[in-house]
Amino acid sequence: MKILLIILGAIIIYSVVTYLMQRKIVKALTEEEFRAGYRKAQLIDVREPDEFAAGHILGARNIPLTQLRMRMKEIRNDQPIYLYCQNGLRSGRAAQMLYRKGYRNLYHLKGGFKKWTGKVKKKA
């Protein structure tokens, strides 16, 4: 029982530290803020290809979180990076990965694609 409590405590501490770190390295934007800046930035959808095909923000590139390490060279370091996923969790993880590799100017859509009300493109 004592070990279980220690493990649970460690998980909670890890979650809090991760959350605080994400808030420091990536700025969560409302849809209005996101919309105001994403055309002057690299817009990256970190969802899986099937999710992207079902609908994505117009102008977005699909670099799934699962492929990000291998495809990081496709992302420029000298321009703002606007990330989004379905609900905001994967884009936060993507921002952490990019930050560790020296990328700054990271933003993500608060609430993710499911909260997006702007233009959407679907693959036929």
Catalytic residue list: 85
How many other CB atoms are found less than 10 A from the CB of residue 91?
29
Contact 94, 66 (CB under 8 A): no
Distance of CA 68 to CAs 1, 45, 72, 74, 116, Å?
A: 39, 11, 6, 9, 23
How many other CB atoms are found less than 10 A from the CB of residue 103?
19
